[in-house]
Amino acid sequence: MSQTTELRETGGVRIAIEGCGHGTLDAIYASVDTSCAQRGWDGVDLVIIGGDFQATRNAADLTLMSVPIKYRAMGDFHMYYAGTRTAPYLTVFVGGNHEAAGYLWELFYGGWVAPNIYYMGAANVLRFGPLRIAGMSGIWKGADYRRPHHERLPFRQDDIRSFYHVRESDVRKLLLIREQVDIGISHDWPRAIEWKGDSEHLFRIKPHFRRDAMEGQLGNVAAEYVLDRLRPRYWFSAHLHCKYAAVKLFDPPSEAAAVPEADTKETAALDASTVPISRPDPVPTQMNLPPPVQPSETANPDQIDLDDSDSEEATEKHEEPKMNLPAPTQPAEVANPDEIDLDDSDHEDVPNQKKDPAAEPKAEEEDPREVDETKADGKEPAAPISNVDGVSSELLAQLPASFQRPAQPSSAYPSRPKGRPGQPVPPTITNTRVDFLALDKCLPGRHFLQLMELGANGVVTGNEPKEGNAGGARESFALEYDPEWLAITRVFAADLVVGDKTYIVPPDLGEDHYKPLIDAERKWVDEHIVAAGKLKVPHNFEQTAPVHTLVPGQPETYSKGQPNEYTNPSTAAFCELLQVPNIWHATTQERGERKQRGPGASSPEREREFSGDGGGGGGGYGGRGRGGGYGGRGRGRGRGFYRGDGRGRGRGY
pLDDT tier at 416, thresholds 50, 70, 90: low
Distance, in Å, from the CA atom of 487 to the CA atom of 485, rounded to the nearest integer, reads 5
State the Cα angle at 494 between 488 and 497, rounded to 5°: 110
Arithmetic mean of pLDDT, 65-74: 96
**Element at 183 (helix H, strand E):** strand 183-186
**Using an 8 Å Cβ cutoff, are 65 and 54 in contact?**
yes
pLDDT in tens, 450-501: 999 998 665 555 444 444 344 445 678 999 999 999 999 999 999 999 999 9
- Is a pLDDT exceeding 90 seen at residue 257? no
Which of 635, 553, 96 has its CA nearest to residue 343?
96
Instruction: Give the span between the Cα atoms of 164 and 152, in whole angstroms.
Output: 13
Residue 10 lies in a domain: no
Establish if 436 belongs to a structural domain: yes
CA pair distance 163, 179, nearest whole angstrom: 29
Which residues are paired to 383 by β-bridges? 405
Task: Report how far residue 97's alpha carbon sits from residue 66's, in angstroms, rounded to the nearest whole number.
Answer: 7
Q: Could you give the number of structural domains in the chain?
A: 1
- The mean pLDDT value of the chain amounts to 76
Rounded to whole angstroms, what are the CA distances from 475 to 147, 359, 461, 532? 44, 52, 16, 24
Nearest to 48 by CA among 117, 97, 102: 117
Burial category of 593 from C-beta neighbours within 10 Å (exposed 0-12, middle 13-18, buried 19 and up): exposed
| Number of separate helices (H) and strands (E) present in the chain | 15, 15
Residue 17 has pLDDT above 80, yes or no: yes
Helix (H, G, I), strand (E, B) or coil at 589: helix
What lies within 8 Å, CB to CB, of 395 at 6+ separation is: none
Strand pairing category for 382-383 and 405-406: antiparallel
Q: Determine the Cα–Cα distance for residues 160 and 97; give it in Å rounded to an integer.
A: 10
Question: Does some domain include residue 397?
Answer: no
Q: What is the rounded distance in angstroms from the CA atom of residue 38 to the CA atom of residue 12?
A: 18
Residue 466 located in a structural domain: no
- How far, in Å, CA of 294 to CA of 476, rounded? 27
Residues in the chain: 653
In the predicted structure, residue 400 carries a pLDDT above the cut 60: no
For residue 455, the model assigns a pLDDT of 80
pLDDT above 90 covers what percent of the chain? 61
pLDDT bucket at 396, cuts 50 / 70 / 90 = low
Q: What's the rounded Cα separation, in Å, for the pair 529 and 259?
A: 36
∠ CA 236-20-599, rounded to 5°: 115
Contacts of 506 (CB under 8 A, 6+ apart): 413, 495
Closest CA to 185 of 93, 91, 322: 93
Specify the pLDDT at position 164. Answer: 98
Please give the pLDDT value at position 418: 74
Antiparallel, parallel or unpaired: β 382-383 and 244-249: unpaired
Q: Give 446's contacts (C-beta < 8 A, 6+ positions apart).
A: 241, 243, 305, 306, 307, 328, 440
Pairing of the two strands 117-119 and 91-93: parallel
Q: DSSP readout, 413-461?
A: SPPPPPSSTT-SPPTT----EEEEEE--BS-TT---EEEEEE-TTSPBP
Tens digit of pLDDT for each residue in 131-149?
Answer: 999 999 999 999 999 999 9
CB atoms inside a 10 Å sphere around CB 452: 22
CA distance 652 to 622: 9
Contact assessment for residue 146 and residue 506, using Cβ atoms and an 8 Å cutoff: no
Q: Supply the range of the domain harboring residue 435.
A: 17-259+280-374+409-451+485-609
Q: How do residues 76-91 score in pLDDT, each as one tens digit?
A: 999 999 999 999 999 9
Q: Classify residue 625: in a domain, yes or no.
A: no
For 184-200, the pLDDT digits (tens) are 999 999 999 999 999 99
How far apart CA 628 and CA 642 sit, in angstroms, is: 9
Q: Looking at the domain assignment, is residue 392 inside a domain?
A: no
Euclidean distance between CA atoms 395 and 233, whole angstroms = 58
pLDDT at 591 > cutoff 80? yes
User: What are the backbone dihedrals phi and psi of residue 104, each rounded to the nearest 5 degrees, phi first?
Assistant: -65, -25
Report the alpha-carbon distance of residue 183 to residue 94 in Å, rounded.
Answer: 13
| pLDDT score recorded for residue 356 | 37
Domain assignment present for residue 624? The answer is no
Task: Tell me the per-residue pLDDT of 281-309, one tens digit each, with 9 for 90 and over.
Answer: 444 445 555 443 333 333 333 332 333 33
Q: Are strands 91-93 and 46-49 parallel, antiparallel or unpaired?
A: parallel
Q: What is the pLDDT confidence band of residue 24, given thresholds at 50, 70 and 90?
A: very high
